[in-house]
Structure 1
């Protein structure tokens, strides 16, 4: 049985219940550093692609992430067929302008609406 491409990436990500770490340098002033939602989405997409061996998935994140250990946000992976998979991103450490984070994909996907 051949799965559609969208279902294939979701299955690949979900089966691994992926937990991966990333880091990025960000700009900050006097307050805590922040990473833009767009940059976060790009980094998660690139890491998922390299980990799963699949093309970069479409990831969206709801807002900027403040570089404070323990902060979390929920991003969403949307496959070509419209099905989605939640991805939780958690800040694990901050070193100057470097925000380090882990992310974990949900175990099951939501079907297209």
Structure 2
């Protein structure tokens, strides 16, 4: 079943990198487990898809280091890497869990870190 998405205005990474206002979006994913948990790989893919959909840009490279537990208030940090190697932190926060569906907010940091030299 495809995720239900409630996108909000989201700026591209280049706009975020120059210090424009903090932005985010929301998503939900049906994980099909008795104790909902979203794998790090699936979370990375879902976040990248949501960011691409709200910015109209190609799907960015997003890496989430850990699974997301389906418990309201749980947070995890992911990293978005731009084509130039700069990175942007992204916070994922679980907002609700209904049966096997985890709903979460995606919020990007205000500034990007420059690419390694």
Q: What TM-score, normalized to structure 1?
A: 0.85
**In the alignment, what sits opposite 1:84?**
87
Where does residue 6 of structure 2 map in the other structure?
none
2:108 aligned residue (84, 101, 105)? 105
Report the structure number with the largest CA radius of gyration. Answer: 1
After TM superposition, the structure 1 = structure 2 runs for residues 34-49 of structure 1, keeping only pairs within 5 Å, are 34-49=37-52
Which structure 2 segments of 5+ residues have no match?
1-10
> Where do 5+ consecutive residues of structure 1 fail to align?
1-7
For residues 93-113 of structure 1, the C-alpha deviation after alignment (integer angstroms, 9 at most, x for no partner) is 000100000010001000011
Greater helix percent: which structure? 1
Which residue of 28, 31, 39 maps to 2:33?
Answer: 28
Query: Is contact 1:12–1:52 with CA below 8 Å preserved after alignment?
Result: no
Q: Secondary structure at the match of 1:108?
A: coil
User: 1:17-44, CA deviations, whole angstroms, 9 ceiling, x for partnerless residues?
Assistant: 2211000011323xx3100011111111
Residue matched to 1:4: none
Name the CA distance, whole Å, in 1 between partners of 2:16 and 2:32.
30
**Moved >4 Å (runs of 4+):** none
CA RMSD of aligned residues (A): 1.6
Q: Where does residue 19 of structure 1 map in the other structure? A: 24
Work out the number of aligned pairs and report it: 104
